[in-house]
Amino acid sequence: MIDSNHLLFSHEGTLPPGSTRILTQTAPYDHCNFTVGPEAPPALVDRFTELLLAMSYDDPEVRTLLDLEGLKAWRTGRTTGYGALAAAVAEQGVYDDEGGLPGSS
């Protein structure tokens, strides 16, 4: 769980005081991603990206949305920084050798 959620849930009473504790923290990571498939129209992908990157934290309406995600701004996509997640997924056997969910066929 991200720090801001833990603080909010504790403050709101969703997590009763003293009922949880932080055991460890990961390195920073990108928690919010938009992924498109190879058939996505490039013009639409570019426009969507343009709209996201144009969002300003100074705009009160946009600020509310960014605050919900714990963001100050959107950034361009990247595929680095997922080593810990990839290792955990492999260790837990989340996917089979073909990339599917075990037992789903």
* pLDDT score for 105: 66
Q: What is the pLDDT of residues 17-67, one digit of tens each?
A: 889 988 888 877 777 788 899 999 999 999 999 999 999 999 999 999 998
Q: Does residue 42 lie in a domain region?
A: yes
d(CA 105, CA 102): 8
Answer whether residue 60 is part of any domain.
Answer: yes
Please report the pLDDT score of residue 92 as a whole number. 93
Instruction: With CA atoms as reference, report the closest residue to 73 among 90, 88, 53.
Output: 53
C-alpha dihedral sign at 21, 24, 28, 30: negative
Report the pLDDT value the prediction gives residue 87, as an integer from 0 to 100. 92
In a domain, 34, yes or no: yes
What percent of the chain clears pLDDT 70, i.e. is strictly above it? 99
| Residue whose C-alpha is closest to residue 30's, from 91, 73, 93, 94 | 73
User: Which domain does 54 fall in, by range?
Assistant: 3-77
Nearest to residue 82, comparing CAs of 3, 35, 36, 27? 27
Write b or e for each residue in 14-26: b if 16 or more Cβ atoms lie within 10 A of its Cβ, otherwise e: ebeeeeeeeeeee
**How large a percentage of the chain has pLDDT more than 90?**
47
Residue 56: what pLDDT?
A: 97
Q: How many domains does the chain have?
A: 1
First to last CA, the chain: 31
> Which one is predicted more confidently, 87 or 77?
87
